[in-house]
């Protein structure tokens, strides 16, 4: 694989990874804020979806590593 294409592709994967992890962090922060106010349902609602985001992040990380190794 051409070095420039590899760099661009890995970069795109890492940027997407960063965005997903940022969004997961925002949700986690909202969940923590809600639970500190005693809002259990709101906390769980805020945290909802983090598991899927982490799966997507893991896939992007794996793809970046696979491209690097290719």
pLDDT tens per residue across span 18-69: 999 999 999 999 999 999 999 999 999 999 999 999 999 999 999 999 999 9
Q: According to the model, what pLDDT value does residue 1 have? A: 77
CA distance 23 to 67: 24
User: Within 13 Å, how many C-alpha atoms sit on residue 50's CB side?
Assistant: 15
At CB < 8 A and 24+ separation, what contacts does 23-29 make? 23/53, 24/50, 24/53, 24/54, 24/57, 27/53
């Amino acid at each position: 694989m051409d070095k420039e294409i590899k760099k661009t592709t890995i970069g795109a994967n890492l940027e997407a990874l960063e965005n997903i992890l940022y969004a997961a962090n925002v949700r986690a922060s909202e969940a923590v804020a809600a639970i500190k106010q005693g809002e259990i349902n709101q906390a769980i609602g805020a945290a909802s979806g983090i598991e899927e985001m982490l799966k997507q992040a893991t896939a992007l990380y794996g793809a970046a590593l696979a491209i690097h190794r290719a």
